[in-house]
Amino acid sequence: MPQKLMLGNEAAARGAWEAGVRLVSSYPGTPSTEITEYASKYPEIYAEWAANEKVALEVAAGASMGGARALCCMKHVGVNVAADPLYTLSYTGVNGGLVIVAADDPGMHSSQNEQDSRMHARASQVPMLEPSDSEECRLYMKKAFEISEKYDCPVMLRTTTRIAHARSMAQMEDRQEAPVKDYQKNVSKWVMTPAFAKMRHPVVEARMDALSAEDNGLVCLEMRSCEIGVICSGMAYQYVREALPGASILKLGMVNPLPKNAIVDFAGKVRKLCVIEELEPVMEEQIASWGVRVDIGKKDTGRQGELSGRKIRTIFGLDNPEVIESPGMPARPPVLCPGCPHRGVYAVLSKLKCTVTGDIGCYTLGSSAPLSAVDSVLCMGASVGMSQGFDRARKWAGEDSRKLVAVIGDSTFLHSGVTSLLSASYNRANITLIILDNTTTGMTGHQPNPATGFDIHGEPTTRIDLEELCRACKADSVVTVPADDMAKVEAAVRGALSETGVSVIIARKACALLDKKSRKDPLHIQPDICRGCRSCMRLGCPAIAFADGHAVIDPSLCVGCGLCSQTCAFNAIVGRNV
Amino acid sequence: MRAGMDNVSIVIVGVGGQGTLLASRILGAFGVNRGTNVKVSEVHGMAQRGGTVVTYIRLGDCAVSPLIEDGCADYILSFELMEAARALHYLKKGGTVITNTQCISPMSVVTGAAAYPEDLPARLKEKADTILVDAYALAEKAGETRAVNLVLLGALCALTQGDAAEWEKAISECVPARSIEVNLKAFELGTQVI
């Protein structure tokens, strides 16, 4: 069989294609994004970026109801957004197979929390599979569709960053077409009124019991020494394999429901039973609830961050490889790129000493020094609602003049800011909302969104006009400014803050990484004119450094955006040839 | 005795945007062409925006997990001087650091809140077998400053007494056709530093 070195996400997309999937609808989110991007390259698959995860899952649910196999991918926090349809889809079940990928991020490489999607699978009573490498991403995706249709339910596939973004060999099989099934109207299955939902709930429970008892080939028993037996899944399995080569392992490919018989049987064969899992004690608490003694578990591994072979060896009192201590180095957190259109807006907000409710995206980085412009980042779309509530609270505290601004990206605004904006108008809120429109979904790797006018394939499509949309949401004022013109941004912010009601400022300029055409020659700081006042350095541009009493620009990083020259009172910053 | 490429764990570190992912892709292709077991772990998303980036490559039968634990790397391939020092904890006792001598200041250094550490080449050499490469200058000489990654791979090839043709095949498979020539030139300049 042909094989290829594949990213976990690439292999998951391959598995979906091989399973005969017809439709993929998703919202980008690290570390899930590439599944949908890879899927979109197969001509047999219709793929789209939806406005958010809830919409994506509803589109996939509709395709499933219509008889086609459908896939929907999201990061862990995306499941919160899609939870509303998810929990009731568990009751309705499916027609064509329906699989939802939830990509968790232990260690928070690119996320705002460390929630464990297995909790969602348990709470919604949806089966969940968990692969441990790329080949299993492919195989389990196919298995998930099989289970989905056999048991008439959606199935979740859980990955973590180290599975999604790791490459290992995966095989390649042919696509098995899954013909679109008949659709027969069936209100007791698809209309979840209380009367029908009451009829479906027992079906859900019976299905989970049946799945728990069935041998579906997803339990893998590796018997070695009887001294230590480890129950694990996903990435934890890889850590255990490496740290404890002599231990017996019960590797679970299905993490909800747990295969009770296999686990109880395994517990009886080993002297010391260990449950090694990242994040929450999802397996351990269930296993313990059956009266099975767990000797090593969450009290030893902890709930925070990623596991490692080293952590596991330490728990078992084994020797670890000798380590050369790294000398302490200044941290290097991510920063806004040189030429980033958000930088000027943040510099203005910082200068005006605004209180800023922020949102999720590249522009979250405006919270770090020296811009330090953001007061809060909670979840997708939260900037708008939080600004409204904060304004009311501070007025009660006697502050009438606080400069309060909400900032949100274009993609995030369309994901879940629109409803908050119209709610603010409806409730006569007093907010200033800046939409940082960089004409793309930046942080996840430049996916198009409804305001870009392009679809997932880069083909022209209907473009949502942000100005019209905000006016339709009854904002009292909507002004658009070029994001890289700090004087205009400042005038707009001052204007909005002097008004009451709902003011929207759309600060527009394409992402610097995307818009390579508008790159200019690097700028240069004339050392004899520079007074060393460090005004330009307050922008936090990685291309500007300070040496020998004046600022200097690194020509290999500068893209000539000109923002720094707007901050220079002495006109010291000019083009190279001047 | 430095490790060869048969059973090897390599940590690649650098600053987001420096082209570390291409280097790991080339090493992956190199392993695949040899028919050996390959595991690669990458970082996408937030960490790419000018932050520290770490990628792990493991070739050979010993590779189970795609991650490389502290004290387990045969080589650290560093695209930036300070990042080499930061990554030292990955290095196996007796392992080798190959580092670009280029310094890129993090924001705390740019703003003056911290200073760029001094004497790093000497401090690295004191702690581990260290090969210093002015990869930026060599990439510039090859005609493409972004080819720092290929210069460093060239140094790794020479250090492991590799067959240049085998490496060049993997490179040609991974870089766009129009830039094969400049990348191979940078690679060749890298092989000459050892």
Domain of B175? 8-103+120-191
Q: Which residues does chain B have within 8 Å of residue A11's beta carbon, measured at their own beta carbons?
A: none
The reply to whether A3-213 and A342-516 are identical in fold is: yes
Residue ranges per domain, chain A?
Answer: 3-213, 219-315, 342-516, 520-575
* Chain A interface disruption, residue of B12, B36, B65, most A CBs within 10 A: B65
| A 81-120: CB under 8 A from B | 109-110
Decide if B59 is inside a domain. yes
**DSSP line for A86-136:** HHHHHHH--SS-EEEEEEE-TT-SS-S----HHHHHHHHT--EE--SSHHH
Contact (Cβ atoms closer than 8 angstroms) between residue B13 and residue B77: yes
Is the CATH number of domain A219-315 3.40.50.1220? no
Angle of helix A117-124 versus helix A282-289 axis, rounded to 10:
40
* Dist CA A153 CA A208 (whole Å): 10
Q: Report how far residue A153's alpha carbon sits from residue A92's, in angstroms, rounded to the nearest whole number.
A: 8
Q: Which amino acid is at A43?
A: P
pLDDT at residue B72, as a whole number:
96
Residues of chain A with pLDDT under 70: 577-578
How confident is the model at residue A577, as a pLDDT?
A: 56
| B17-68 pLDDT tens trace | 888 999 999 999 999 999 999 999 987 766 667 899 999 999 998 889 999 9
- Look at A542 and B50 and tell me if their CB atoms are within 8 Å: yes
A236 has a chain B CB within 8 A of its CB = no
At A431-488, the pLDDT tens digits run 999 999 999 999 898 999 999 999 999 999 999 999 999 999 999 999 999 999 999 9
CATH code, residues A3-213: 3.40.50.970
By the CB < 8 Å criterion, does B44 face chain A?
yes
Task: Count structural domains, chain B.
Answer: 1
Q: Cβ contacts of residue A490 below 8 Å, gap of 6+?
A: A348, A351, A352
Q: Is residue B120 pLDDT above 70, yes or no?
A: yes
Residue B122: count other Cβ atoms within 10 Å of its Cβ. 10
> What CATH code is carried by the domain that includes residue B64?
3.40.920.10
Classify residue B90: in a domain, yes or no: yes
User: Is B86 within 8 Å of A329 when comparing Cβ atoms?
Assistant: yes
* Domain A520-575 classification at class level: alpha beta
Chain B residues whose CB is inside 8 A of the A333 CB are: 51, 106-107
Most B CBs within 10 Å, among A313, A324, A325, to test the B interface: A324
User: Under CATH, which architecture does the A342-516 domain have?
Assistant: 3-Layer(aba) Sandwich (3.40)
Q: Is B27 on the interface with A (CB under 8 A)?
A: no
